[in-house]
A and B are shown apart, each in its own frame.
Chain A
Amino acid sequence: MAPQLHQFHTNFSNADAVSQQMTLIQRTLRDAGVTGNIYTVEARGQSATTTLRWDPASPPLMSDRDWILIHHSHGNPHLHSVLSTKANCALVYHNVTPPEFFAHDPYLADLCRLGRDQLKLLQPRIKAAFTVSQYNAEELKAAGFTVNGLLPLIDIKNFPALDAKIKVGAKEKFNFLFIGKLAPHKSQALIVETFAHFVRFCPEAHLTLVGREDPFYGRYVSLLVKRWGLSRQVTLLGPLDIDALREQYQKADAFLCLSQHEGFCVPIIEAMSMKLPIFSSVAAGLQETLGKSGIQLHTRSPETIATTIAATVSDPSWKEKMLSTQAKRMSEVTTSQEPGLITAALLPLLE
């Protein structure tokens, strides 16, 4: 029997970047004639049909010619079980959010701490290591790994380029969008405060935040919206499927990201792909994802960010200027996200 390449991540849902990459890898390898399953301990939503459950007490049988690609984005309570298989182990490191962002949730903070500690446990077993960004690669190298290369993370054809809406002056209704889990490191509270200042410039502006909620932080953001009297102008949506996401990108006039930590930030690329101007902080891996594109924010002051955005969109040519730089960046990204890179990186493992 030909060797198989399986994948594992502790949880799987159709909405997150890790799961989408796992699906992309599985599909690309299948097209190249390589089979393999996606294993997870916790499948959310409809994803149970595309994954197989990993039973930690009774791991699936694999041969020593098979490979298992372990996706690592936080602590994995079942790592010993995964490493107990006969299969050769490879790693895809998606970065682990620093635990200090989860001081309000000891379980999550411990999970993040465990994620970083487990790199030591993984290191002697890993025969090939991959990341999704240079930023993540540097972290992995610092942890003692040899990084074999970068793997594409997104299927860009899911977000086809649109004809850019031309809206200048922004005195009319102006829609901001951010997509990402409502969590402290994504700084949606700062987005709301920035928006509250921006509303003085454009009273009919609207903000949409998409993503599942951390219950504590989600409650904070909801109360912040109410406190500023913005309930009519801020919409908090839960996680959305790809069609609904595309609709949100189409409705928006600008993408606003103020995250303090991102390993890559897929929504930035999706926004670029759909010709949405980007205003973004440059923390952690964001600078690499943006390249030279977008208005890059170096302040955490909501008032200063709001005035910068207002000054930018007051220029009649703002959209053309921003989109032309994003188009250049997008062509670089498209090359790095070419599905052929998946087979080029992974097929040699099976030879």
Chain B
Amino acid sequence: MIRKGGPFFLLVSLAVALGACTEDPFLAVDSESAPGVATPTLEIYLEAGELPTWRDTTYWGFVVPNSASFSLLSDREELRARTLGRFSTIPDSVFVDTARLAIDRFTAARIRLSVDSALSELPTDSVVLSAWTLSRSFDADEATWERARVGEPWTTPGGDLETLLGADTFSFEVDSLGVLIDTAVVRFEGNVDSLLTAWRDSEGEPGFAVVLTGPGGILRTSVMSLVAEAVPEGLDTTVTIVRGAIPGTFIFDPPTPQPTTRLRLAGLPSARYYLDFTLPDSLGFIPLRGSTINRATIEFRPTSAPAVPFELQADIFAQAVRLLADPFVFGEKTPIGSPLGGQELLRPDSLASGNIMEYDITSLVRLWSLANADSVPPLRVGVVPIPENRQFGFWEFFSAEDGPGLRPVVHLLFTPNPTFLLP
């Protein structure tokens, strides 16, 4: 029976095998001539003025000189800057071996500055660094070139210098090993023990200032510390103690310009810009909400460089972040959420050439597109510098209040839902 039916079982197997074949798709040459539903992927630029609503603003003060990671020293005409501080943690005892001994006296002291030679504009000629006591206390968060604190101006703008503690001349050149000098030390003259004891008893009040005198560079210092030699009671030796300036800040002139209607990023006080906008549900008769958002960005056109000395000096990053509340209600205190895209590099030379900054907001617009009509999320974005505490300079971008062609733009790449039809 099997022998007789063999050819037929073979045919059955053949037909079943053919029947089980997966159909190979046809290859079409182009979208328009291919059968089936075609829905184009559309690209659109929507300027702030073309959107149903758009609000933008700059908030600043997120970082002030007191909380910045650097200080400036300068004696340039376009920028004068001095460092202020207090050594408020000078100890009255030290550890020697395993014992803590009271300090009998201080024999020497100096202020040590760590210079960020990569970001400083090192003076080409010799400059003098001097350390002074202040005759007026200052509030580190409020002190400026003009005032010691709010409502209390310096007698002399730039800080009320009282007694010269020490001075030295520096020439920032490469040493014999070809390495740039990155530390400057100003030794205290006079009765060091009396000075440090007074600072210890008064928690550093009223403070000190470090002043750079001489044309040329701008020194950017990252760490400022007191290095003192102390003699413990009952011992004939000295112990070196090191203390940082707490608080430590710097004051400068001219002050950073107030933000205008332009959108500012970075600077000191550090600035961010926040915006809040709505997208149209449809563009003409093409539905936008409900479409697949392939890519969405917001673009900002840079203005020309800020006036010296406030132009951005080095590359920084910036990032678009979600805003968790209405920035026009909560202002600077608006809570920020997760990042919306990657960090974008801001290069001063590129910005000066007018190159547009673009931030990816695809995830935000995608949520908006997918939301039900009764729960459409607001489109709120903040642009923040990263890191925020390292830039003295800033850059500004045109806002919605500028003219057409300059205003921020929402750049969308989207694919409307296919309109599936039967013939």
Does B associate with A? no
